[in-house]
Structures are given as structure tokens and as C-alpha cells.
């Protein structure tokens, strides 16, 4: 999950966090709201949250990767890329977190999974006409080749990815 910032990020300064095999984009700006940062830590680490708070994700080590922009990341990827466009307030998007972790573990040699927060990167959401959340787009050779809107089970998503990759190979 990306760390929330208090300033509006630009797509020219993006860092990619690899969280449990799922990549999440975050602005590389060092300024952030401490209150939002604490909320994000509580969200990521169940030991810091109260028992009444829902627990969607556990804390895992993140690997930072920086790209000059989103298109650069797509162009330099050696594998096809599944981009999950989500928002932190979206319930179905939160339900997709463990599903994407399962898909990432099953298909780690076939596809890279990236998460984009549409609230932080509205220009990317506009560019790819994101109108429903979650929306997942599969990119191959830097170009979109399939699009899924709404939540799916892990088996449905794996089947969709494998079908798309077989057709495009």
C-alpha cells in the first residue's frame, strides 16, 4: 500500500513498493502528513490497530523501485503487468488485496502486479478511463491488452490472466 502524502504528487516522481509480491506506487516526495502516516501504519500492521478496526493486510517488507514515470515502468518490464487501479475507501478494492497476493504467488513467474491509487494519480485514471473500482488492466509490451472491472475470485482472475496471455503470445 502506498504512503499517503499531503501534497499532490506528479507522475514524474514515482517510487514502486513491492509488498508481498504486489507492487504499489507511491510518490517519492519526502513530505507526508504524520497523522496519515500513523493511520497507514495501523492499517498495515494489525498489532498497531485496535481490535475493532478491520484488518485487511499484514506488514511485510517492501522493496522500493523508482521509475521516471508509469510508461517507463511498463516499457521496461520483462513480464506482462497487471495494474490494479484502486482507492483506499473502496470496499471491493480492499477485498482484492488478499486475492491479488494469492494471484501474485501463483503467477509470479508470468506476471508482475502493480497497484495504483487513483486518488493520488488521477491523471493515470483519466488516461486509462477508469470509471469503476477496482479496475485491473493487463499490459503486454507496454500496451493494454485486457481490462477487468469489479472484484473477482483468485481462480477467476488467474484464469482470465492465463487466457489473455495465451491469446497475446
CATH 3.40.30.10 is the classification of domain 14-168: yes
pLDDT band at 1 (very low <50, low <70, confident <90, very high): very low
Lowest mean pLDDT across 19-23, 52-56, 68-72, 159-163: 52-56
pLDDT of 21 over the 90 cut: no
pLDDT of 10 over the 60 cut: no
33 vs 6: CA distance, rounded Å: 5
60 vs 58: CA distance, rounded Å: 6
**Residue range 30-77, pLDDT digits in tens:** 444 444 444 555 555 555 444 444 444 433 334 456 667 888 889 888
Domains of the chain, by residue range, sit at 14-168
pLDDT at position 7 is 36
140 vs 153: CA distance, rounded Å: 22
- SS3 for the chain is CCCCCCCCCCCCCEEEEEECCEEEEEECCCCCCHHHHHHHHHHHCHHHCCCCCCCCCCCCCEEEEEECCHHHHHHHCCCCEEEEEECCCCHHHHHHHHHHHHHHHHCCCCCEEEEEECCCCHHHHHHCCCCCCCEEEEEECCEEEEEEECCCCHHHHHHHHHHHHHHHC
**Residue range 71-125, pLDDT digits in tens:** 888 988 899 999 999 999 999 999 999 999 999 999 989 999 999 999 999 999 9
pLDDT at position 11 is 44
Matching residue, cell 493520488: 120
Residues with a known catalytic role: 90, 93
Amino acid at each position: 500500500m502506498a504512503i499517503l502524502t499531503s501534497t499532490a504528487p506528479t507522475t514524474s516522481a514515482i517510487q514502486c513498493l513491492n509488498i508481498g509480491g504486489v507492487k504499489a506506487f507511491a510518490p517519492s516526495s519526502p513530505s507526508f502528513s504524520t497523522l496519515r502516516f500513523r493511520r497507514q501504519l495501523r492499517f498495515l500492521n494489525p498489532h498497531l490497530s485496535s481490535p475493532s478496526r478491520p484488518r485487511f493486510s499484514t506488514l511485510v517488507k517492501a522493496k522500493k523501485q523508482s521509475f521516471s514515470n508509469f510508461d517507463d515502468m511498463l516499457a521496461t518490464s520483462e513480464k506482462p503487468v497487471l495494474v490494479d487501479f484502486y482507492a483506499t475507501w473502496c470496499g471491493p478494492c480492499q477485498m482484492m488485496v488478499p486475492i491479488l497476493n494469492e494471484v501474485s504467488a501463483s503467477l509470479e513467474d508470468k506476471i508482475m502486479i502493480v497497484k495504483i491509487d487513483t486518488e493520488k494519480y488521477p491523471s493515470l485514471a483519466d488516461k486509462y478511463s477508469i470509471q469503476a473500482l477496482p479496475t485491473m488492466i493487463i499490459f503486454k509490451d507496454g500496451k493494454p491488452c485486457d481490462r477487468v472491472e469489479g472484484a473477482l475470485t483468485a481462480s477467476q482472475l488467474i484464469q482470465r490472466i492465463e487466457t489473455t496471455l495465451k491469446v497475446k503470445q
